[in-house]
Amino acid sequence: MDITWLGHSCFRIKGNQAVIITDPFPPDLGYSLGKQTANIVTVSHQHPSHSYVQGIGGEPRLITGPGEYEISNVLIIGIATFHDSVKGQSRGKNTAYLMEIDGVAVCHLGDIGHVLNDEQVEEMGNVDVLLLPVGGVSTINAAMAAEVIRKLEPKAVIPMHYKTPAIDRELDPVEDFLKEMGMGQVEPRPKLSVSKSNLPISTQVFVLSV
């Protein structure tokens, strides 16, 4: 499976039998989607920067909320979470997605605004690859992201939704998260290729270039 970061919270996840795009964004955000086609598109919440589904070709199946879905031999579980730390009273609801692709469990947390509770951690179960926001302001920040990682104990972590030169959003840079994780500079890579057999033994952070 290949995981490519397209910017913000948007990833292209290419498995043996399906391509999944998460949280597609519009052209005015600052990043470029390019010409993307997919079998499945997941939307964590209905915000323009996360739900530009018209930018994806291939007539994909659209998943926009909690539930269990099986499409193109990919099992997806949508788990109800919140966009803030006050049970949605400030920013509303958010859906985290757990996707079983080629035997690897990938979790995309969307715009989660709180640390997962024990019930949510149990519902997610074993997470191999975790895609989580780290930029704060409208999502969890670096410290909260580190706490989520401690709870889920994923093998691979890919940060998303942080400040880059491409966007003018008020967000913290990825360096704050790396520092929180006790890491120095990490060389970004164009994609992460993972399989059940080559997952890291213990939690490892990968920064992807866009």
The pLDDT score that the predictor gives to residue 161 is 97
Residue 119, SS3 per DSSP? helix
CA 134 centroid distance within chain: 10
**Residue 11 β-bridge partners:** 5
- Mean pLDDT, range 159-184, rounded to an integer: 93
pLDDT at 180 over 90: yes
Q: What amino acid is encoded at 151 in this protein? A: K
Domains along the chain? 2-205 (3.60.15.10)
What average pLDDT is seen over the chain? 94
Strands (E), the chain: 2-7, 10-14, 19-22, 36-37, 40-42, 56-57, 61-63, 67-71, 74-82, 93-101, 104-108, 129-133, 156-160, 192-193, 204-205
- Mean pLDDT, range 43-60, rounded to an integer: 92
Q: How confident is the model at residue 48 (pLDDT cuts 50, 70, 90)?
A: confident
- Mean pLDDT, range 66-71, rounded to an integer: 96
Q: How confident is the model at residue 64 (pLDDT cuts 50, 70, 90)?
A: very high
Task: For residue 209, report the phi and psi dihedrals to the nearest 5 degrees.
Answer: -85, 165
